[in-house]
Structure 1
């Protein structure tokens, strides 16, 4: 009988040694200290920063997105427009105006420059239209303008005037 009980106890110990451990180990990334106060080698690698910690760091550096009306260009000089948008895809004369055209995949932006004073010309009218039959009449002109600003990196060039 004693042999049977001893055999059962040994069997139970052997089976429990094979069972997966339910112990969870967390680490702070600092070496553990033994009772004597010396640093013990940690066998658990430190975890990368949490998603929340990375997001918090990113959010503090994020620039808020601006959403401007195309009319923010009214009164801007040819130099300001060229600096922000670059060379136009098309330039034409419609006396007394000069018309500059900028193109994106979905829309065309037309800027009408009229004389102001003796030599300078400034934007007095902005026209935006779709470039295909699907968007020709129901185009969101403000959205198209802002998409174009972002695509050429000029989103912040007019943000102060639009706020």
Structure 2
């Protein structure tokens, strides 16, 4: 689905942003990027694919961290979070960055490069992940009403992401 051009289309960026938002667990970001995916022409199938890829990577990262924390053998069966097309790998890479999983990041970065994804497309995913992670943290802190200060306040209405 990625075009020959060096940058991603608006739809591709929004699908990656949606996956990052799901993996980061940011409801306002997910809501925002669902709207943007639809505006960019995304259909139900593309949304299911992006969300499924994000959940797969998030679950795999969580299991890997569980195994590490319990001192278990890090070797495990293949999680199935692999793809044969560039966009699906960029979705998985974005999700891996969102959950800060170096193993999944390395895996999907290597796979994306092997599929011929250009460095500027990878840079776009890195920038999206950094921005959405920052927004997700901001939304969580806002819900706490001044985290660390004991002022929990009332949860705000759904905030707008990005």
Question: Which TM-score band (shorter chain)?
Answer: under 0.3
Q: Which has the higher contact order (CA 8 A, sep 6+)?
A: 2
Provide the TM-score with structure 1 as the length reference: 0.25
Provide the TM-score with structure 2 as the length reference: 0.25
Larger helix fraction of residues: 2
Select the structure of larger CA radius of gyration. 1
